[in-house]
A and B are shown apart, each in its own frame.
Chain A
């Protein structure tokens, strides 16, 4: 157990913000705190890095009480990400990321290496190091914010509605790359949100709070399938089976059949042969690093003649997209098979419409049995 909250209570004047909270947070997991505004979720988060001191109770990290640690030192060992406004406007991207390493007196050479490494991790070009926050888009600022929080390689990351100010489309992209990054860094993340879809998509576990108390704290699919009471049910909304579908990530449904892989300069004739032999409609063009460059489609014309068409900008599914997102991409593009790529554009395989439908049917059956 990495973090343990024991009988935490926080009172502001006479108002009780958090009431007798007990919970344990496991190492390497993402825990999402959700609830209506004023439910105590942000207060709880801020008590972990002592931006707010609890009125009573104790918070343990690795079994050690945070109250016994020096507040400034504690904060330097915990990453902290807030909405985009948290970047220091007068510091370049480099200086923003370097804040904590400099406080810890790292050598400049080590700091530079770390900044490069982190920019790569959050998929920003190294040239961004010299830019200033005002020159970045909201999404880019948020990536820098994450890089800054990770600079000194903290074990714990606290995120307070980090994607709250970002438009829905870019938020989805940030979710995907966030999950991609977490796969690599495996931090213990505590994430406050007011968006139930975000909580379901990102959370290993969800902590639902209301009026300062913990209503339900469980694995995400446990919460979806067994909401504890009406409050949780209302929070989840009516479309629970669709939401359950959104728990499944595309990467679990990738198949490696029904398509052909080719290089950018391969021979057309033999490619056509290969596609006919495997009954594939699509051939995906990959570069030497396995990145998807485009695709070739075999189209049968009215005359019965087959023709090869090249599509250099195919619709792709990110492997961290959930099934709802993959499904909507298929419906929009009219394809029944879409290529799946990693965050860095690497080709992983394909996802088929029929497989998603099979999952929908299974989920429906599960809920019907429960309902009956």
Chain B
């Protein structure tokens, strides 16, 4: 315990930089995969493309079983090392739950409901923004939440291809066989993960339409 405190006090600057790098890596990759993932989900569930959506649902369902290290290794082979390859690896990996949830959330809306919206005189874009997306919000948010948590964990692995962040700290600790550095690194990564999870859970509560939360 004393060792941890000493290291922490003596290396505050480095720890802070690593934490910031880690958060930055997480934030950039999660943002990109949320944007790409939701757009992909919307696209493949558009009118007349529902079949593509169903196929993609099967693929992403299976892809969730691929280990994160494998993705990182593949990106290393094809793209190399550095911050950008790390981001690419994280985006690819975390896209899977977002596409899966967005697609399944949008596909699960009753066709009768869409027809009612159409028959009432809403345009396709209005149906998407006012009906489909709000109803799918809880499922989409659940996907973002698991993607974000996965990203924080995987970001430590991405340090092996030069992503920086808390992974660096942990690997240093492993190389030097200094437990206190490993503990600080893992503790901080876990702390960010919990914090992000709580924040997204709150956001989910706020943006889920009220009518979907009430029961009789």
Contact = CB atoms under 8 A, between A and B. Distances in A.
| Interface residue range, chain B | 20 to 34
A83 B112 contact: yes
Interface in B90-137: 110, 112-113, 115-123, 126, 131, 134-135
Dominant secondary structure of chain B at its interface with chain A: helix
A143 interface: no
A132 B216 CA distance: 9
B135 A85 contact: no
Contacts, number: 73
A88 B131 contact: yes
Nearest to A145: B116
A51 B122 contact: no
Contacts of A134: 211, 214-216
Chain A interface residue number, banded:
20 to 34
A135 B119 CA distance: 24
Interface string B132-159: 0011000000000000000000000000
A197 to B, nearest CB: 24
- In this complex, the member of B116, B121, B134, B135 whose beta carbon has the largest number of chain A beta carbons within 10 angstroms is B121
A103 B185 CA distance: 54
A78 B215 CA distance: 32
A91 B212 CA distance: 9
Interface string A87-109: 11111100000011001000000
A92 B214 CA distance: 11
A77 B121 CA distance: 8
Given A72-B123, A90-B135, A82 B115 contact: yes
B212 A90 contact: yes
Contacts of A51: 115, 118-119
B210 interface: yes
A75 B117 CA distance: 10
Contacts of B134: 90
A80 B120 CA distance: 6
Interface string A134-152: 1100000000000011000
Nearest to A130: B210
What 7 pairs between A and B have smallest CB-CB spacing?
A: A76-B121, A90-B209, A86-B116, A132-B211, A80-B119, A75-B121, A90-B211
Interface of B: 110, 112-113, 115-123, 126, 131, 134-135, 209-212, 214-216
Interface of A: 46, 49, 51, 72-77, 80, 82-83, 85-92, 99-100, 103, 132-135, 148-149, 158
Given A82-B112, A88-B116, A99-B120, 19 more contacts: A51-B119, A72-B122, A75-B120, A77-B121, A83-B112, A85-B110, A85-B116, A87-B116, A89-B113, A89-B211, A90-B209, A91-B209, A99-B122, A103-B121, A103-B122, A132-B210, A132-B214, A134-B211, A135-B214
